[in-house]
Each structure stands twice: as C-alpha cells, then as structure tokens.
Amino acid sequence: MIIRPQNPSAATLLFSLKGSIIPAIWRKVLFTVLVSAGVVAVHGTFFSFKFILTATPFTLWGLTLAIFLGFRNTVAYQRYWEARTLWGELLIVSRNLTRQTLSLMPALSAAPRKALALGLVGFGYLLKFQLRGENADLALLARLEVDAALLNKQNPASAQLGRLGPQYLNAARHTQASDVAQMNIDQQLSRLSYVLGGCERIKGTPIPYPYILLLHRTVYVYCFLLPFCLVDSIGWFTPLAVCILSYTFFGLDALGDQISDPFDTLPNDLPLDAMCRNLEIAVLELLDEPTPEGLRAVDGVLL
C-alpha cells in the first residue's frame, strides 16, 4: 500500500514517481508517443498520402472507453474494499475473543490464555500465506506455536480455525464459563470462518478474462489511432496530446489490474504483512505481553 505524504506540494503531486502508476505503464506510453511522432513525421510525405480520421468516432469511442474503464475500476475497488473490510473484521474478532478470554474465563492461567491468542495470530498469518501463495515462515509459526503440519493441508487457515474451536470451548468448559459465554465465543469463531470464506471468494473469483481482454484491446486501438485524428489540427503537438491521453487510459487500466487482486504484493495492494503484525500487537497488548514493533513503510510502500 502506498503511504501518501502529508500535505504534499503541487510539485510533489505533479512530478513524484513514488506511488505513481507511471513505473507500470511508461513503456506503453512511450511507445504510443513514438508512434504518434512517426505519424506526424511521415504525414503527407509518403506518396503524398494522408490518412485522416475525424474527431467524431474518437468522441464516441472515448466516451464508451471511459464508461468501460470506470465500471471496471469500480468493480476492482469494490473487491479491494471488501478485502480490507474482511481483514478489519479479522482484527475486531481477534480482539473480541482475547477480551472474552480475559473477562469470561478469569480462572484461565496465563500460559493457555497466551496460547489461544497466538492461535488467532497464527490464523491471520496462515491466511496471508495462503492468499499470497507464499512459502510459510516456519520460524514465525514456531514462535506463534502453530503446528507446521497444517502446511500440508490444502487449506491451512481453515485447519487452524478448526483447531481453535475446540481449544476455546475446552478452555471455557475448564473454567466453568456459562453457556451464554460459550455461545458468544462460538459466534466470534463463526465470524472468522466468514472472513476466511470472503477472502477465498475474492481470491478465487477474478474479473472475467474476456471482459479484461476486450478492455485492453480497446485501449490500445484507441491510443494507436488517436494520432491520425489529431495530426492535421495540432501538428507536432500531437505526441504531447497522445502522451497525456494514453497516460490516463493506460494508467486507469493498470490501476484496475492492480487492485482487482488486493492480496498481491504490488504497491497498491493491501499491506497484509503490516496488518498481520498489527493483529499480533493488538492481541498481545490486551494480555500485557511484550509486543513486536509495527512494520514501517519502505520507500513509501507498506507491504
């Protein structure tokens, strides 16, 4: 996730590359500018042939393309925001369960109480590894007292959640917590299952590929034909106009691609590493246990 500077100057907003989509699209923009420069250079000199397009079709194409891009980016942001909401729910439920462990099971000793809290943190990390397709950090899982054998499961996060249920309810029964308290704990665990299922739904259901393919092709065709519409009216200013328009369309297209999979490691995706660390800090602070430091952004990017 890009960490935006506080009160940025106009120069920063106009010329900063950090946090910009330019690194992902500059080759495409440069190529369209070179094509437009070539069109201007040879216009009317190749057997005195001029290939001219009027502004009317580009007005219609541009409007249609803007609607397509706006719709796709809206859908992509909805996926991003739903993923962020689910991870916020994970933090809330983990705090609730830790707080209920303290208030509803006061007779529970410190060691099993901490083990339950670490199990919640382990669930968060296993979910992150699963969503990103990363190799699990065995040292981290050992520190969190998570059984490494869960990594052999097809769904390690679900397997960890399956273990958390009996652990919490056995602790509640051991401390003679009321049936109402046990029901509340089970409801919180069910919310974790909802979080897991929601993340799996986003990860396993991408935006339909034919729709993306159609959008990509339309953007390319529009940007490559645009110089033939502008060359007669603005001449050598055509490459500049094409640069600005292609930056807009290619940028929106690339940004939609990045946020449509919010669990990836691109700069505009969710900072799952930092969110897992914040989860660990939150539950350990409730138990008055030592906590690690929160992760900081590197070059303006928080992973």
pLDDT in tens, 284-299: 999 998 888 888 877 7
Asked if the model's pLDDT at residue 16 lies above 80, the reply is: no
Query: For 303, what's the count of Cα atoms within 13 Å in the CB-facing half-sphere?
Result: 8
pLDDT for the residue numbered 268: 83
Asked if the model's pLDDT at residue 159 lies above 90, the reply is: yes
Distance (Å) of CA 288 to CA 8, 98, 110:
38, 11, 10
Asked if the model's pLDDT at residue 119 lies above 90, the reply is: yes
**Measured between alpha carbons, how far is 295 from 277 in angstroms, rounded to an integer?**
7
pLDDT > 70 in the chain, percent: 90
Q: Give mean pLDDT, residues 58-84.
A: 85
pLDDT for the residue numbered 192: 94
Asked if the model's pLDDT at residue 46 lies above 60, the reply is: no
48 band by pLDDT with thresholds 50, 70 and 90 = low
Phi/psi of residue 99, nearest 5 degrees: -65, -40
3-state secondary structure of 232: helix
**Measured between alpha carbons, how far is 101 from 95 in angstroms, rounded to an integer?**
10
Asked if the model's pLDDT at residue 47 lies above 60, the reply is: no
pLDDT for the residue numbered 122: 93
- Answer yes or no: are the C-beta atoms of 175 and 107 closer than 8 Å: yes
Asked if the model's pLDDT at residue 45 lies above 80, the reply is: no
C-alpha 6 chain-centroid distance: 22
Asked if the model's pLDDT at residue 49 lies above 60, the reply is: no
**Measured between alpha carbons, how far is 232 from 31 in angstroms, rounded to an integer?**
21
**Measured between alpha carbons, how far is 225 from 221 in angstroms, rounded to an integer?**
6
Nearest Cα residue to 205 out of 149, 267, 126, 261: 261
**pLDDT, tens digit (0-9, with 9 covering 90-100), for 242-281:** 899 889 888 888 888 888 889 988 888 899 999 999 999 9
Asked if the model's pLDDT at residue 154 lies above 80, the reply is: yes
**Measured between alpha carbons, how far is 236 from 245 in angstroms, rounded to an integer?**
15
**Measured between alpha carbons, how far is 160 from 232 in angstroms, rounded to an integer?**
66
Q: Which two tokens stand for residue 166?
A: 């009996």
For 136, which DSSP code? Answer: P
pLDDT for the residue numbered 11: 66
pLDDT > 90 in the chain, percent: 33
Give me the chain's average pLDDT, please. 86
pLDDT for the residue numbered 172: 87
C-alpha 102 chain-centroid distance: 34
Asked if the model's pLDDT at residue 227 lies above 90, the reply is: no
Query: For 93, what's the count of Cα atoms within 13 Å in the CB-facing half-sphere?
Result: 25
Q: Which two tokens stand for residue 191?
A: 């919310």
pLDDT for the residue numbered 10: 67
163-200 burial code (b ≥16 CB/10 A, e <16): ebeeebeebbeebebeeebbebbeebbebbeebbebbb
